[in-house]
């Protein structure tokens, strides 16, 4: 069973330049057109749920809607990748196509496949979009790592947009982070064998890199394979980004978090989903360990 988390090596960082980002950061979150979400305490599809794509396990970040009212759950574009874990350049890395089926799962581990609680279809991939456009911005190619899975109509009633344990998101972070800022996350790697106490993570941002496209962070515990795609919140509960990489150098053990404002802005500008927006959580942000 593959549990993707891209590995960012020292060599791969050499491609980064000061190129200007091609995506305009997304506008602040809009009110959703849907109002009847499943209760947070019983919802089966939510940020933090496990997502399986042809055997590869990742973690959901946030819930999104488009102008038609269709519901999407986000994870990392590399979760549908077909290459090596060290393939970090989304402009040339291989990926499964749009239309690929994805399962939402509870309780997946190394010894059990868990229980499938819903199904969806890969509807947007930043990797595929950048390749189709012939993207040349090296920061976008290195850090734009967002995919969206449309939830099957039969399963939309199981969805709640709140991040487990922490609550939120309150809105979309459009300002990034500075070194020392507190961040929060919720991973759900199958490698942890269902130990839920290890899913909530609190940590510190190391700042911003790639012209605003990414935030290196340290958390306790660090994100591991299977946590890929999981949500990151800032200190106010705003949606900051999505887990993309696990570094082995130069900041060993740190994680690279793709900036959601940039990633969502790119999807809004270049993707096929009209009126795409982040959905706020129904539960208040409550950062108490």
- Is 125 part of any domain? yes
CATH of the domain at 165: 2.40.10.120
How far is it, in rounded angstroms, from Cα 219 to Cα 182?
A: 9
Q: From start to end of 155-233, where are the E strands?
A: 182-186, 200-205, 214-220, 231-233
Q: How many domains, the chain? A: 1
- Is 288 part of any domain? no
Helix (H, G, I), strand (E, B) or coil at 51: strand
Task: Report the pLDDT value the prediction gives residue 247, as an integer from 0 to 100.
Answer: 77
Task: Report the pLDDT value the prediction gives residue 127, as an integer from 0 to 100.
Answer: 98
* Entry pTM: 0.89
- Is 193 part of any domain? yes
**Which residues of the chain are under the pLDDT cut of 50?**
1-3, 5-24, 28, 32
Task: Report the pLDDT value the prediction gives residue 195, as an integer from 0 to 100.
Answer: 79
Per the CB < 8 A criterion, the answer to whether 35 and 71 are in contact is: no
- Is 96 part of any domain? yes
Task: Report the pLDDT value the prediction gives residue 197, as an integer from 0 to 100.
Answer: 81
Task: Report the pLDDT value the prediction gives residue 221, as an integer from 0 to 100.
Answer: 84
Find the domain containing 147 and state its range.
6-278
- Is 284 part of any domain? no
Per the CB < 8 A criterion, the answer to whether 16 and 138 are in contact is: yes
Residues 6+ apart with CB under 8 A from 111: 193
Task: Report the pLDDT value the prediction gives residue 289, as an integer from 0 to 100.
Answer: 58
- Is 111 part of any domain? yes
Sheet containing strand 63-65, edge to edge, reads 56-59, 50-53, 101-106, 115-125, 147-151, 71-75, 63-65, 277-278
How far is it, in rounded angstroms, from Cα 283 to Cα 289?
A: 16
Tens digit of each residue's pLDDT (9 = 90 or more) over 12-40: 222 222 233 344 455 545 554 555 899 99
Task: Report the pLDDT value the prediction gives residue 20, as an integer from 0 to 100.
Answer: 32
- Is 45 part of any domain? yes
- Is 285 part of any domain? no
């Amino acid at each position: 069973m593959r549990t993707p988390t891209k590995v960012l090596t020292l060599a791969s960082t050499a491609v980064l330049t000061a190129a200007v980002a091609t995506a305009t950061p997304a506008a602040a979150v809009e009110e959703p057109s849907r109002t009847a979400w499943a209760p947070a305490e019983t919802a089966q599809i939510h940020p933090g749920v496990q997502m399986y794509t042809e055997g590869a396990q990742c973690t959901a970040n946030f819930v999104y809607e488009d102008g038609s009212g269709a519901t999407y759950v986000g994870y990392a574009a590399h979760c549908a990748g077909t290459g090596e874990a060290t393939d970090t350049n989304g402009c040339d890395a291989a990926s499964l196509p749009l239309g690929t089926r994805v399962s939402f799962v509870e309780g997946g581990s190394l010894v059990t496949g868990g229980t499938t609680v819903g199904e969806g279809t890969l509807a947007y991939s930043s990797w595929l979009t950048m390749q189709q456009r012939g993207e040349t911005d090296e920061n976008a190619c290195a850090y734009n790592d967002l995919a969206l899975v449309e939830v099957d109509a039969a399963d939309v009633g199981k969805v709640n947009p709140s991040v487990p344990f922490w609550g939120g998101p309150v809105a979309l972070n459009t300002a990034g982070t500075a070194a020392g800022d507190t961040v929060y996350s919720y991973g759900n790697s199958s490698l942890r064998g269902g130990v839920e106490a290890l899913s909530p993570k609190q940590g510190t941002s190391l700042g911003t890199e790639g012209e605003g496209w990414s935030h290196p962070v340290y958390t306790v515990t660090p994100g591991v394979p299977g946590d890929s795609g999981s949500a990151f919140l800032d200190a106010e509960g705003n949606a900051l980004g999505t887990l993309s990489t696990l570094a082995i150098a130069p900041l060993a053990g740190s994680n690279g978090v793709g900036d959601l404002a940039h990633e969502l802005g790119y999807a809004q500008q270049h993707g096929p989903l009209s009126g795409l927006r982040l959905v706020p959580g129904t539960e208040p942000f409550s950062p108490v360990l």
